Amino acid sequence: MPSVSRTLAGAFLATAVAAGTGCASAGTFPEAGDAVSAIAGAERLIQDAVRAGADSLAAEPLAAARRNLATAQGQRDARNLDRAALTAREAQADATLAREAAERAKAQRARDAAAAAARQLPPGGAR
């Protein structure tokens, strides 16, 4: 069974490749959106990921989200607003990935605990 991080990384890579192919085939810069809103959204999603336990359960994607957020903030400060918006959207995706990976890890722990408890029951179950 593939690891959670490899599975999530594979899905993320496939999405990034598909998005990149679409941009390259169009020959234009993708729609950037509003940098300030995108950065604020990334900050919110990172906070959500931290509340979900991503600091310990999904450290890699959370670190990527924080790096992309810092880069987006630097791009915004340099008045490169299109790139800032796109980088902030990357940070949002990384933060969402981190939150979902943390939630999955917690669900797996709960499942494992329930299975362990079930194994402790006598044959035929509790009476």
Residue 8: the pLDDT is 59
Residue 18 CA to residue 1 CA, distance in Å, equals 25
**Number of domains making up the chain:** 1
Q: pLDDT tens digits for 82-105?
A: 999 999 999 999 999 999 999 999
Extract the runs of DSSP E, i.e. beta strands, from the chain: none
Asked whether residue 16 is assigned to any structural domain, the reply reads: no
Asked whether residue 22 is assigned to any structural domain, the reply reads: no
Confidence category of residue 58, pLDDT binned at 50, 70, 90: very high
Asked whether residue 91 is assigned to any structural domain, the reply reads: yes
Asked whether residue 94 is assigned to any structural domain, the reply reads: yes
Asked whether residue 49 is assigned to any structural domain, the reply reads: yes
Asked whether residue 8 is assigned to any structural domain, the reply reads: no
More reliable by pLDDT, 25 or 68: 68
CB 84 within 8 A of CB 76: yes
Which whole number is the average pLDDT over 30-59?
A: 93
* Domain range for 101: 32-113
